[in-house]
């Protein structure tokens, strides 16, 4: 079974530019999550999709971040315009059902550096 | 406000030692406590998890100890090996919430 795939693995952009991160969940997983780890700190929840619907987006930092999951398959996370504090590792995870029973499968992450 | 506090930030032990990583939480509504292991260049992977109805859970060389009254839980790695060198994250959640609160991670180095 293919795992959760994220790309790019690394991205370096200038402040003010736009970046789009992509996540392909495990096939058949309705739940898709985005998390972020700023250097040395905790991994923080950003949002949760169930199929194509946003179930919880309480962790999105501000309106410069836009997440989509068209058709309930892959998801994109766009940052526009990027700021220095957006640097970090962005993780995507997916689960088959309730995460408490099934757990998450994380992707390897996208390391975003804003300079 | 950080919901789950993890310590230490880093840990070095000799092969065969028993590293212990501690976590504390605030929200008494949490009822699911997983530990994740992350190797460089990889995403976190579920290692072991516990519910608050038990005080200890063992899976192989990994043990979670849980103290509900103190709102603390810890990971013990028995007979640690160099291959256990990784970053470990504790987390907490309500089972019916699809959101985890993670600790800040502990980078473990097991020396041969």
Residue the block writes with tokens 């043990």: B63
pLDDT tens profile B39-87: 999 999 999 999 999 999 999 999 999 999 999 999 999 999 999 999 9
Provide CB contacts within 8 A for A63, sequence distance 6+. none
Question: For residue A99, is pLDDT > 60?
Answer: no
Q: Which domain holds residue A18?
A: 5-105
Which CATH code fits B4-111? 2.60.40.10
- A57 to chain B, closest Cα gap in Å: 10
Q: What percent of chain A has pLDDT over 70?
A: 95
Say which CATH number the domain at A53 has.
2.60.40.10
**Hey, what are A108's tokens?**
């390897």
What's the number of domains chain A is made of?
1
Domain presence at residue A111: no
Nearest to B42 among A37, A45, A108 (CB): A108
Please report, for chain B, the start and end positions of each structural domain, with discontinuous segments joined by +. 4-111
Q: Is position A114 within any domain?
A: no
Strands (E), chain A: 5-7, 10-13, 19-24, 31-37, 43-50, 53-56, 65-68, 75-79, 88-95, 105-106, 110-114
Task: Evaluate whether residue A110 is within a structural domain.
Answer: no
Q: Does the beta carbon of B1 lie under 8 angstroms from any beta carbon of chain A?
A: no
Any domain includes A113: no
d(CA A29, CA A15): 34
Q: Rounded distance, CA A50 to CA B68, Å?
A: 32
A34 neighbors A44 (Cβ within 8 angstroms): no
Question: Could you tell me if residue A52 is inside a domain?
Answer: yes
Q: Which residues of B touch A31 (CB under 8 A)?
A: 98
């Amino acid at each position: 079974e293919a795992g959760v795939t994220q790309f790019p693995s690394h991205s370096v952009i200038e402040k003010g530019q736009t970046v789009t991160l992509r996540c392909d969940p495990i096939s058949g997983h309705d739940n898709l999550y985005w998390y972020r780890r700023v250097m040395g700190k905790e991994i923080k929840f950003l949002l949760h999709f169930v199929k194509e619907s946003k179930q919880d987006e309480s962790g999105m930092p501000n309106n410069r971040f836009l997440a989509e999951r068209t058709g309930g398959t892959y998801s994109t996370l766009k940052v526009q315009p990027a700021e220095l504090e957006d640097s970090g590792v962005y993780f995507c995870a997916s689960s088959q059902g309730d995460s408490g029973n099934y757990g998450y499968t994380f992707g390897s992450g996208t390391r975003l550096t804003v300079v | 406000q950080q919901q789950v506090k993890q310590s230490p930030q880093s840990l070095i032990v000799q092969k065969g030692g028993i590293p212990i990583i501690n976590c504390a939480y605030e929200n008494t509504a949490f009822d699911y406590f997983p530990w994740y292991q992350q190797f460089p260049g990889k995403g976190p992977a579920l290692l072991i998890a516990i519910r608050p109805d038990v005080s200890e859970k063992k899976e192989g060389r990994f043990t979670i100890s849980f103290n509900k009254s103190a709102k603390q839980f810890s990971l013990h790695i028995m007979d640690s090996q160099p291959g256990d060198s990784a970053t470990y994250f504790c987390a907490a959640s309500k089972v019916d919430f699809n959101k985890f609160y993670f600790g800040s991670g502990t980078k473990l180095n097991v020396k041969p």
